Structure 1
Amino acid sequence: MRRIGRRFQRARRRRRLPPGVGPRNRTLMFGLANPDRFMRFTRPVTPVAWVVAGVLLVVGTWLSFTAPGDYQQGDTVRIMFVHVPAASLGLMIYGALGVSSFFALVFRHPLADAAARAAALPGAAYTALALVTGSLWGQPMWGTWWVWDARLTSVLVLFLFYLGYIALRSAIDDEAKAARAAAVLGLVGLINLPIVKFSVDWWNTLHQPASLLRAGGTSLDPVFLWPLLTMMAAFGALFLAIWLSAIRTEIVRRRVMSLRARAAQNA
């Protein structure tokens, strides 16, 4: 046991682990950080995520189209079943990208870097979908496609952070340097998340306040609440399926690149 303790102390000094992280905590925190273990764990999980996402999308779409129209918005209210899940997932995905960037930058876990890279494109797609559906919803309700409202502007900034992350990784040929630069940008972008979330509370905005998660409970009628929750679960399951598949593809790509580099050196 003493020998194991001394080995871990040396590993802590080399990897600069936080003082409170012991062998058991480190196993719990980074158990799936090993690419081989991650590949084994996600092999059966990924197809299940795709099936669950497909089923939830079908059920959510059916509930969305069979729900009655709103007494004020009419059938336009159905845009909510796409807009709200897309906007919520856009925020949550960037949170996952930021956390993954932190672990990639501080602990230098290649799997965390792969997770951050895999989250960028679907996160940008969800955020773009939120912007487009928001404009489609806003035109009949507000009489305009776009206003420089605090919520709309902060979501647009979020979308630009996604594009900046993707562009920065593509602009630098050295993958290690690209990963570090993109991780820094990913961490900086986290500052925008509370601005997006609380913009309707901090400023007098045209965008309506939260109606799903708020103090005192939701203000949505059950005929709208259940289709919305189903679509949010569907969008979440779809992202999980895409994310896991993209991470697995990235691991395989890096292994192939490593094998090619070794073959070139041996040749």
Structure 2
Amino acid sequence: MTLYDLANPTFFLKLVRRVLPWLIGACVLVSAIGLYMAFFSAPEDYQQGNTVRIMFVHVPSAWLALFCYGMMSVSSIGSLVWKHPLADVSAKAAAPIGATFTFLALFTGAVWGKPMWGTWWVWDARLTSMLVLFIMYLGIIALWKTFDDPAKAAPKIAVLTLVGSLNLPIIKFSVDWWNTLHQPASVFRTDGPSIATSILVPLLVMALAFTLLFVAMHLSAMRNEIFRRRIRSMRVRVAAKAPAAAAGRVVGAAGVAGGN
């Protein structure tokens, strides 16, 4: 299977039909394992107590928010450069999912920040850049809805998406570039993770569960978008044929009247 095979929407739909049930099953299984480890296996933090368990939702949500926008950026390049027929479908389908993960990261971060920092929100570099990411998601979703023809919308939204991708390294390195309340990176570090294994393993399992959830939701959303576009194309063809058919009926009626 190659990218050229995936360029065929019919082949892609067949692939989704086969893969999606397995993805959903794997997501449910890994989520169950991850939640059990997060709530019953992982120990309490000596400072944060049970509130540390918010990490197992907050951190994977933040990772997926960045990953989703990164994937949208790659899809935008595929749409602009290689004109891949499913690239803009992928980007459009991913935007609401990415916005949901970003909102979940912001919400759980606020819930976690209240007992730790004493406030729901601060204009911290990491928090502010994540809020900008959420606004970018909303803007892209709104822009998709302003166009009736997806083909006309795709190039413009692809450019906007690529411009917005400049925010991704800011989010990633904001805790290193500025003095912030948000803790620095503790998993993806050059010298290895700084989290205890008893916390790290459940966190990675939950990250895998969230990733499987994203893939399943994304494939489903792409399938729905393909169906939506096919229905739109059928309606356009029917609408284009309607005037010609009506004109034919008028000519026919005029011929009958003239014969009489």
- Tell me if TM exceeds 0.5: yes
- How far is the alpha carbon of 1:143 from its aligned partner? 1.2
Whole-angstrom distance in 2 between the partners of 1:244 and 1:139 = 36
Whole-angstrom distance in 2 between the partners of 1:33 and 1:250 = 15
Whole-angstrom distance in 1 between the partners of 2:170 and 2:4 = 31
Whole-angstrom distance in 2 between the partners of 1:29 and 1:193 = 26
* Secondary structure in 2 matching 1:228: helix
Q: Give the partner amino acid of 2:24.
A: W
Whole-angstrom distance in 2 between the partners of 1:226 and 1:28 = 34
Please, which runs of 5 or more residues in structure 2 have no aligned partner?
Answer: 243-260
Structure 1 residue 264 corresponds to structure 2 residue 239:
yes
Structure 1 residue 63 corresponds to structure 2 residue 37:
yes
- How far is the alpha carbon of 1:201 from its aligned partner? 0.9
Whole-angstrom distance in 2 between the partners of 1:194 and 1:168 = 24
Q: Is the 8 A contact 1:120 1:162 kept in 2?
A: yes
- How far is the alpha carbon of 1:28 from its aligned partner? 4.2
Q: 1:215 aligns with which of 183, 190, 194?
A: 190
1:222-233 map, 5 Å: 222-233=197-208
- How far is the alpha carbon of 1:141 from its aligned partner? 0.9
Match of 1:107 in 2: 82
Whole-angstrom distance in 2 between the partners of 1:41 and 1:174 = 26
Whole-angstrom distance in 2 between the partners of 1:258 and 1:233 = 37
Structure 1 residue 166 corresponds to structure 2 residue 129:
no
Match of 2:53 in 1: 78
1:4-153 map, 5 Å: 28-66=2-40, 67-153=42-128
Match of 2:166 in 1: 191
- How far is the alpha carbon of 1:216 from its aligned partner? 1.5
Match of 2:180 in 1: 205
* Secondary structure in 2 matching 1:30: helix
- How far is the alpha carbon of 1:230 from its aligned partner? 0.8
Q: Give the partner amino acid of 1:77.
A: V
User: Cα deviations across residues 79-132 of structure 1 (Å, max 9, x unaligned)?
Assistant: 000000000000000001111112112232231110000000010000000000
Larger Rg: 2
Q: Is the 8 A contact 1:82 1:133 kept in 2?
A: yes
Match of 1:240 in 2: 215
Whole-angstrom distance in 1 between the partners of 2:146 and 2:14 = 32
Please, which runs of 5 or more residues in structure 1 have no aligned partner?
Answer: 1-26
* Secondary structure in 2 matching 1:182: helix
**Normalising by the residue count of structure 2, what TM-score does the alignment of the two structures yield?**
0.89
Q: Give the partner amino acid of 2:94.
A: A
* Secondary structure in 1 matching 2:5: coil
Q: Give the partner amino acid of 1:249.
A: N
* Secondary structure in 2 matching 1:110: coil
Seq. identity, %? 58
- How far is the alpha carbon of 1:177 from its aligned partner? 2.5
- How far is the alpha carbon of 1:54 from its aligned partner? 1.1
| Structure 1 stretches of at least 4 aligned residues deviating more than 6 Å after TM superposition | none
